[in-house]
Amino acid sequence: MFDVLVIGGGMAGTLAALSARADGARVALAARSHGATALSTGALDIAYAPALSATVQMPRTIVEHVMDIAAHRQRHPYAVLGLEQTIVGLRRGFAMLAEHLAGTGLEPGDLDLEAENRYLPSSLGVAMPAAAALAPHRGLDLAHAAGQRWGVVQLLGDASFAAGRVMRGLAADAAALADRGPELIELGVRVTARGGPLATARAFDDVALIDEVTAELRGRVAGLDGIIFPPVLGLGHQREAHARLQAALGLPLVEALAHVPSVPGVRLQRALAAALSGAGVASVGEVVRCQTDGRRVVAAMTADRLELHAASFVLASGRFIAGGVLFEGGGREALFGLPLVSEDGLLEQDHPLPVVRETPMESHPLMTAGVQVNDRLQPMCEGRPPFDNLFAAGMVIGGFASRYALCADGVALCTGYLAGKAAASQRGGR
Amino acid sequence: MTSAFDTDVLVIGGGANGTGLARDLAKRGLRVLLCEKGDFARGATGASSGMIHGGPRYLLNDVETTRHSCADSGYIQRIVPHLLFRVPFLIPALPGGNFGGFAPLLFDVYFGVYDRFAVLKNGIPHARLTREELLAIEPGLRADVLGGVTSDEWGIDCGRLCLLNALDAAAHGAEIRTYTEVVGLMRDETGAVVGARLRAAGQVEVSEVRARAVVNCGGPWAERIAGLAEGGVRLRPGKGVHLIYDKRLTNFAVVANAVDGRQVFAMPYQNETWVGTTDDDYYGDLDDLWVTQDEVRYLQEALAHVLPGLAQQRLIGVRVGVRNTIFGWGKNEDDLSRRYEIIDHRAQRAAGFYSLVGGKLASFRQQSEDAADAVCAALGVHARCETHMHALPGGDALPDEAELARAYGVDRLAARRIVYRHGSLAPRVLDVGRETPTGFSVVCPCEPVLECEVRYCLRHERVVRLGDLMTRCRVAMGPCQGLRCGLRVAQLWAEERGADATDEREALMDLLTRRWRAARGVLHGQQLAQAELLMTQYTGLWRLPTLAPFA
């Protein structure tokens, strides 16, 4: 018997488990496999709302972006929770993540909602706006790098990272952001990268390879303010790899934000798993079915036929990538069959393909499908929460998609933290 | 002789008919300009399954079409042997179908008649199979199948067929302009058509070109184009949908009857399986075709009736197009004739203006020849058609894939694909790989496509927008939908074109947009997860779709 059972082991589920645990609850977490969190770019997207049109004034600070999102998208979790709860959730959720990532080499730094988004280099040569980022990706803000000189490392034969493209793209974006960007210099390194980013990252767990890179770069980095690397510097030992390389070269190192398959995502997922076990959250297998009793969820059945009882439950099962939301014929939430809502309104359950729009440039309601929640994060069905002790967090909540406003990590941190707290508060409530 | 005319013949349309006609006329020595408002094979041709068969279906009510198509299919196979693929058909008889237990016997007789035409297109005569034989070669068939027959057909890569026609026309002096739309026709005082007004895609200004003859090969758009000269073309546009599954689910084309008795089939095509097709009267926007959930369901149900396992498989896209069938009243779509017609608009006082409408892919060369004959007769040109005598580019010899794979150190499957698409030009494609250290690396792991082929296509195959590459070498067509190859391809585009960062992003956006159009009708199940992954990646790392520079 647990106080709280969290279903889903990504960013939202982890935060829910940690926050419930912090309130003294006995917590178990059920995870099927890696979901979208393991595909993270390395940035933490809290709030970035692109200007809706040229005549609209662009929000400036992160909190202004949050307000802009809530104002224009009424079903977005930030709008549903309201500004006050959202800000509290973001601040405390982020602080909780930072606390649990301490010492991993992935520390996300501080979150200052009154600051502007920083602009981080992506591996595709785009300056990406982000409120925060994991430590390996944080050292260069392209909006404030005029007059600096940075090297861009090209590993020999690495088809997944092209220094030429990165330099060309970043130069264009930095010029648009701040008149003048940093000067970028290509640094070819004769270390062969074969077999994709994850294989390369594993190879960098070996200090011998780090030392080879050091030897290659020594003497060529004088006058530089830092070096941009492809996001492959170690998988299990990235902290040691970074420290060793940084000490040897005496320069800040920044890994570009990653595309899939993502090394930063796998690192983050591993760190979250370690945080859970460190905090004393029990790990149980995949939940395949839940048992309900009138207005309460009573138990969850795992794939190994374990029956788990808990006082309250957090649904953090993700959206399409993770399988928390299904669309086969009609659409439904996978575990409880909850109805779906998109940013445009309810999706009728047995009516296939409600709206499929023309181009990716346009809004696409289907991509925002998920469960509807109230301001306590309880999933809704026909205007009321069907279960008093069920809360939702992360991408399983509908009404938003990262493609219209970069906010997926913010939603996970905020809703995860708040859902965990709400679930923990139900202890002894039955 | 200085002429008041800029060209002899303006051909409108870049499908099989238009490119076939341009090639035919250019080989006869005429000056030709071909205008296509998009890329090659974007209408009816591009949505076709590529089957160049006589259509045993037409035996019942249109035997001429069957004979014609079989004969021309034979010619087409001769001029472009590398671009063909064999399609062994299985026609199973099921309990509860027409003719009951006699069905296999009747099929046997029916296809015995078809065999007389099949030899024209190099088809092997049909064979009658017992239930056990059928299940042995295709275990996915329904277990209670009664028996059936085989039929031997050929298919062709339609997109490349049109490209090769155009390239060959260009080699004979024709000017080919894709992304150029005809927005008006120029008339003289008698009403005769003496040229056209053209507008390049995305441009405002209109240019004029004077031509001695104008031929409308607009496919389903032919009515609209003929309307520019009040010309009388009447079509009965029929929308056709093919579903595309993510892998080869069968090695045979399997025929099935849909719920309404119509015949549809599942066909292996490269790494995919195609299921089609529907045929429904269509009155909507030709430039924005939608696939409805009913159409998807109709085809899925039809095939599930014969291959029960198919319904659970992952759909990755659809091909949808509109047939330019000649108008007929009082018949259902399937019973309409697939014959073709060359209309001389002199009758509507528009001398010098012709429309080529109707017909089938399998006889496109014959259709082009007849249209060229009509134009040449009017212009007083006596040159004869030669399109059946000479190979299309790359069609003159088939290099040995194993030898190429060894010589260039590439995977044999990759070499086979290059030979399939480029025929005797395969060594030239592979030579490009020696220019860069990553020249032989795999750009698209789904197919596979090598970097050298992408570069070759970008240089030599009239790729105007990045999305055009999909029909040149199939990048972004596979199950990953451009997730893995999109970035590489856009980067190669930038290198080959010397494009800046903005151009590169716009090019990638074009590729993803076109990919999206094919996938948007089948967004469910695993495909939806793939779409989410694709969108998240490109939004999270490219800031797409907000391409605009920072405010």
Closest CA to A393 of A319, A291, A307, A301: A319
Q: How far is CA B137 from the centre of its chain?
A: 29
Question: Which DSSP string corresponds to A68-137?
Answer: HHHHH-TTSHHHHH-HHHHHHHHHHHHHHHHHHHTTTT-------TTSBPEEEEBTTS-EEEESEE-GGG
State residue A407's pLDDT score.
93
* Among B495, B517, B537, beta carbon nearest to A259: B537
* Three-state DSSP string of B406-422: HHHCCCHHHHHHHHHHH
CB contacts < 8 A, A to B, total 130
User: How far is A394 from chain B, CA to nearest CA, in Å?
Assistant: 15
CB A138 within 8 A of CB A231: no
Given a cut of 50, whether residue B39 has pLDDT beyond it is: yes
Scanning A136-206, the segments in alpha helix (DSSP H) are: 163-178, 196-203
Given a cut of 50, whether residue A430 has pLDDT beyond it is: no
CB B308 within 8 A of CB B238: no
Q: Name the pLDDT band for B330 (thresholds 50, 70, 90).
A: confident
* Cross-chain residue pair A366–B523, CB shorter than 8 Å: yes
User: How far is B517 from chain A, CA to nearest CA, in Å?
Assistant: 7
Q: Name the pLDDT band for B232 (thresholds 50, 70, 90).
A: confident
Question: Which DSSP string corresponds to B251-317?
Answer: SSEEEEE-TTS-EEEEEEETTEEEEE---EE--S-TTS----HHHHHHHHHHHHTTSGGGGGSPEEE
Note the pLDDT tens digit of each residue in A304-349.
999 999 999 999 999 999 999 998 877 899 999 999 998 888 877 6
Helix (H), strand (E) at residue B497: helix B485-497
At A10, list the tokens: 């990504």
Note the pLDDT tens digit of each residue in B249-263.
999 999 998 989 899
Given a cut of 60, whether residue A374 has pLDDT beyond it is: yes
User: How far is A421 from chain B, CA to nearest CA, in Å?
Assistant: 29
* Cross-chain residue pair B517–A45, CB shorter than 8 Å: no
User: How far is B520 from chain A, CA to nearest CA, in Å?
Assistant: 6
State residue B495's pLDDT score.
92
Closest CA to A285 of A28, A35, A36, A13: A28
| Sign of the alpha-carbon dihedral angle for A145, A149, A154, A155 | negative
Round the average pLDDT of chain A to a whole number and report it: 91
The pTM score is: 0.91
Specify the DSSP class assigned to residue B346.
G
| Interatomic CA distance for residues A291 and A286, integer angstroms | 15
Strand partners, B214: B10, B353
pLDDT, average across residues A129-134: 95
Q: Among all residues of chain A, which has the CA nearest to that of B492?
A: A165
CB A95 within 8 A of CB A102: no
B84-93 and A370-371 strand pairing: unpaired
* Cross-chain residue pair A327–B531, CB shorter than 8 Å: no
User: How far is A33 from chain B, CA to nearest CA, in Å?
Assistant: 15
Residues of A in contact with B494 (CB under 8 A): 165, 168
Question: Is A177 in a helix, a strand, or coil?
Answer: helix
Question: Is B350 in a helix, a strand, or coil?
Answer: coil
Q: Which of A419-423, B112-116, B485-489 holds the top average pLDDT? A: A419-423
Residues of A in contact with B293 (CB under 8 A): 352-353
Q: Which long-range contacts (CB under 8 A, 24 or more apart) does A78-86 make?
A: A78/A47, A78/A407, A78/A410, A78/A411, A78/A414, A79/A399, A80/A373, A80/A374, A80/A375, A80/A399, A81/A375, A81/A377, A81/A414, A81/A415, A81/A418, A82/A375, A85/A375, A85/A418, A86/A414
Other Cβ atoms within 10 Å of A379 Cβ, number: 24
* Cross-chain residue pair A260–B483, CB shorter than 8 Å: yes
* Among B437, B535, B537, beta carbon nearest to A260: B537
User: How far is B144 from chain A, CA to nearest CA, in Å?
Assistant: 28
Scanning B48-179, the segments in alpha helix (DSSP H) are: 63-79, 103-118, 131-137, 158-171
Residues of A in contact with B495 (CB under 8 A): 164
| Interatomic CA distance for residues B281 and B334, integer angstroms | 10
| Interatomic CA distance for residues B423 and B400, integer angstroms | 10
Residues of B in contact with A196 (CB under 8 A): none
C-alpha to C-alpha distances, A59 to A329, A404, A411, nearest whole angstrom:
40, 15, 19
| Interatomic CA distance for residues B68 and B53, integer angstroms | 10
pLDDT, average across residues B19-30: 98
* Cross-chain residue pair B500–A43, CB shorter than 8 Å: no
| Interatomic CA distance for residues A404 and B546, integer angstroms | 9
* Cross-chain residue pair B504–A169, CB shorter than 8 Å: yes
* Cross-chain residue pair A352–B293, CB shorter than 8 Å: yes
Residues of A in contact with B549 (CB under 8 A): 173, 176
Given a cut of 60, whether residue B375 has pLDDT beyond it is: yes
| Interatomic CA distance for residues B292 and A280, integer angstroms | 51
* Among B533, B541, B550, beta carbon nearest to A321: B533
Note the pLDDT tens digit of each residue in B153-204.
889 999 999 999 999 999 999 999 999 999 999 999 999 999 999 999 999 9
* Cross-chain residue pair B438–A159, CB shorter than 8 Å: yes
State residue A357's pLDDT score.
57
CB B212 within 8 A of CB B228: no
CB B539 within 8 A of CB A403: yes
* Three-state DSSP string of A244-292: HHHHHHCCCEEECECCCCCHHHHHHHHHHHHHHHHCCCEEECCEEEEEE
Residues of B in contact with A125 (CB under 8 A): 501
Q: Among all residues of chain B, which has the CA nearest to that of A324?
A: B529
Note the pLDDT tens digit of each residue in B86-120.
999 999 998 887 777 778 888 888 888 878 777 77
| Interatomic CA distance for residues B300 and A107, integer angstroms | 50
* Among A356, A360, A367, beta carbon nearest to B521: A356
B280-281 and B238-245 strand pairing: antiparallel
| Interatomic CA distance for residues A123 and B538, integer angstroms | 12
Q: Among all residues of chain B, which has the CA nearest to that of A356?
A: B520
Name, in order, each residue with C-beta under 8 angstroms of A337's C-beta and a sequence gap of 6 or more.
Answer: none
Note the pLDDT tens digit of each residue in B497-511.
998 888 888 898 889
State residue A312's pLDDT score.
97
